Structure 1
Amino acid sequence: MQEKERNTDLSMQQQQQQQQQQQQQQQQQQQQQQQQQQQQNYEYSDSSINRQKEREDSDDDDDDDEREAKEERNKKESKEEEEEEEEKEEEEEKETEK
């Protein structure tokens, strides 16, 4: 009878140990999954930040291009205005010479 009880006790102990091992393995897997998820979240937010910076840089470049184009237009316009003024003056001089 005692032998049977001891065997039963041993069997129960083994089952408990197996259950504990399984629980530990599950916990480890969960931790690994959490770490992977955190890593993915970090990589995603990192790339998201990089994309935002690229957009801002691109916007800055666009602003610079617009400013330069505007300056060029202004230069052309003022040059054309100067030329028109000079032509008018020349015509007026010719008129007064007559």
Structure 2
Amino acid sequence: MTQPDRAAVSADWSARGFSCDLWTDPPGQRWEDFVHEVDELLMPVEGTIEVEIDGRVSHPAIGEELFIPAGASHSVRNTGGTMARWLYGYRS
């Protein structure tokens, strides 16, 4: 799948009140049980990640947007054998 256009995603998220930044992780990296006080958006742009939101596990495709509501426990795991990159943004 083609990588999403970061500028277009950033413009869309900004119009919806969200920031937009890029995160990169090596294979095997795990971020477990985070909780934020604001809504978050996440979109994979490269590699393979697993996202768990309040106990529900998903494997989003490149370019698939996930919504993480404020107060939801969530984890992100790089389950692939390559670097994983994803866009993330918080509601301002």
Give me the TM-score of the superposition, normalised by structure 2: 0.15
Q: Which has the higher contact order (CA 8 A, sep 6+)?
A: 2
* Higher helix residue share: 1
TM-score, normalising length: structure 1: 0.14
Name whichever structure is richer in strand by fraction. Answer: 2
Structure label with greater radius of gyration: 1
